[in-house]
Amino acid sequence: MSGLCAPYPWLTKPEDIGAIVSEETCDIVVIGAGIAGCTAAEAASGAGASVIVCEKFASSSAHGIDIGAVGTKVQKAMGVEIDKALAARLIYEWGQQQANYWLIRTYVEKSGEVLDYYIDMAHRYGMEVTLNDEMTARADWDALEDKFKQFQSAHIFDITDKSPFQKGKWNARYFVDMVVDSAKRQGASFRFKTKAERLVNEGNAVTGVIVSDAEGYKKINARKGVILATGGITDNKQMIGRWCPAVLRCDKFENFPVGSNNGDGLLLGVWAGAAVTRCNPAPIIHPVNFSSLGPGISTSWLTVNRDGRRFSSEMAYEPIVTNARLNAPGNVAYAIWDDDYKKHLVKQEPVKSKKLLGGLDDKMERDIASGDYVKAATLAELAEKIGVPAETLQKTVDRYNGWCDSGIDADFGVPARFLSPVRKRPFYASKMNAWLLSLPHGLHVDQNSQVLTEDDDPIGGLFAVGNVQGDFFANSYPVTLPGSSHGRSICFGHLVGRALAEGTTIGGYGD
């Protein structure tokens, strides 16, 4: 890395740390108690390994709802069949072929059997597992053209009154609580407020970790291996500046706890001789808040920049609008729709519109009162209220309405079903915000998720799972298989944890 380190001093290993106050040995050390690390610990301890999980904060991390997988018993029971080869190829193509196809294919091929293991576990914990068919997981989008295709891969783990877990905002929390409980019962030791500071190298292998806690620096030797599961670089502005500066233009940064995703695992790996993935990062960005119509995430409306001009496809396919928004002049954009929005909504979403229409009038009133949505009697008035030139906006609307009438969007190729003309007064607008959820970016790995050097040689005993696993996403987060951020974290966490415990490899697809 030497040449690359010059402008980025943090890529250079700092001076050695202080005295070690204690030393112990186990089979496997997992660094980070997020969804990937906890799953790895559960699988490894279930396969008989002694496991220590080091987590720098006081508890495990969990956020979000959807858990992606392909070919689970829940999907089979609902008659959902996903073309695996097509799904893998589409994810690969979303990354402009930068990522490792075999990693993606392994996820698509193996995530079903992995999640089935946790679905069975969830049932034992009195939980329910269903398929999501909302927002980024629509039931009938698998019939769209390839670039907008979405398969019904998002599972929701929910508690019932028979489950031992507390009700909370994020369903992924129930999953993490469940695997932590199971891992602990199997003997895994969770060390909270324990931060990994360095990996221990012996030759070209990693044999342990130096951690810090309230008592000082401690060495933990790992007989079988170390699994990095420290998340991505979402909270580290220097790393974002280095690898993905456009996301600094996001309106809101949603990751929590703040500081959990500082790119620690990426640095631990680099300091131990690992290479950073060569893929461009694929930020996970939500277009806007979840208020009534959810422009860009639930629904597609004409979207204009501050000059009143259209600038991208408005398909409610998560990264599409936000990627373009981040390059919009003035870093601002507005979705615009007319008073026929209910009619448009039924056309856009024939399967789920009934659900979307429920209580919509009230929600719209609330969003207008709160200032989230702007309402105006004329287009000129709307233009004035949102600060875009009225004449240009009128021209843009006329051109767009023409595409709506012909059913062919010759500018951005939005399918006819999602083209919604702006004609009937009053008119509405909503700011098209960009909220960064996660910025996965990590280490170069092979198809077994083993960490590699710049020369593509495996580093003995070192694996990366979750958002510190590079080479899976590239350029743009694909919502072809919704929930694949959690899904690949669980899939590789489980496969790597079990394989390391058993002294094998994960047996990736194509091996």
Q: Is 464 helix (H, G, I), strand (E, B) or coil?
A: strand
CA gap 271, 352 in Å, rounded: 50
Q: Does 437 bind ligand FAD (CB under 6 A)?
A: yes
Which span (15-23, 252-260, 425-433, 444-452) binds ligand FAD, by CB under 6 A?
Answer: 252-260
Q: What is the largest CA-CA distance in the chain?
A: 74
Pick from 59, 51, 105: nearest CA to 227:
51
Find how far residue 479's CA is from the centre of its chain: 9
Find how far residue 249's CA is from the centre of its chain: 18
Minimal distance, residue 422 CB to ligand FAD, in Å: 31
Pick from 195, 188, 192: nearest CA to 493:
188
Minimal distance, residue 34 CB to ligand FAD, in Å: 2
Q: Is 355 helix (H, G, I), strand (E, B) or coil?
A: helix
Q: Which is closer to ligand FAD, CB of 95 or CB of 483?
A: 483
Q: Does 53 bind ligand FAD (CB under 6 A)?
A: no
Pick from 26, 16, 6, 32: nearest CA to 442:
32
Q: Which is closer to ligand FAD, CB of 87 or CB of 397?
A: 87
Which span (61-69, 302-310, 318-326, 423-431) binds ligand FAD, by CB under 6 A?
Answer: 61-69
Of 482-501, binders to ligand FAD (CB under 6 A) are: 483, 485-486, 489
Q: Which is closer to ligand FAD, CB of 61 or CB of 305?
A: 61
| Member of 63, 89, 149, 173 binding ligand FAD (CB under 6 A) | 63
By rule CB under 6 A, what string of x and - marks binding of each residue 20-39 to ligand FAD? Answer: -----------xxxxxxx--
CA gap 322, 333 in Å, rounded: 10
Q: Which is closer to ligand FAD, CB of 238 or CB of 406?
A: 238
Which ranges constitute the DSSP H helices of 6-83? 35-46, 73-77
Instruction: Please state the φ and ψ torsions of residue 486, each to the nearest 5 degrees.
Output: -65, -40
Q: For residues 161 and 184, is the Cβ–Cβ distance under 8 A?
A: no
Angle of the 484-502 helix axis to the 101-124 helix axis, nearest 10 = 90
Q: Does 150 bind ligand FAD (CB under 6 A)?
A: no
Q: Does 213 bind ligand FAD (CB under 6 A)?
A: no
Q: Does 56 bind ligand FAD (CB under 6 A)?
A: yes
| Member of 147, 184, 195, 385 binding ligand FAD (CB under 6 A) | 195
Instruction: List contacts with ligand FAD (CB under 6 A).
Output: 31-37, 54-57, 61, 63-66, 68, 195-196, 229-231, 254-255, 260-261, 264, 284, 437-438, 466-467, 483, 485-486, 489
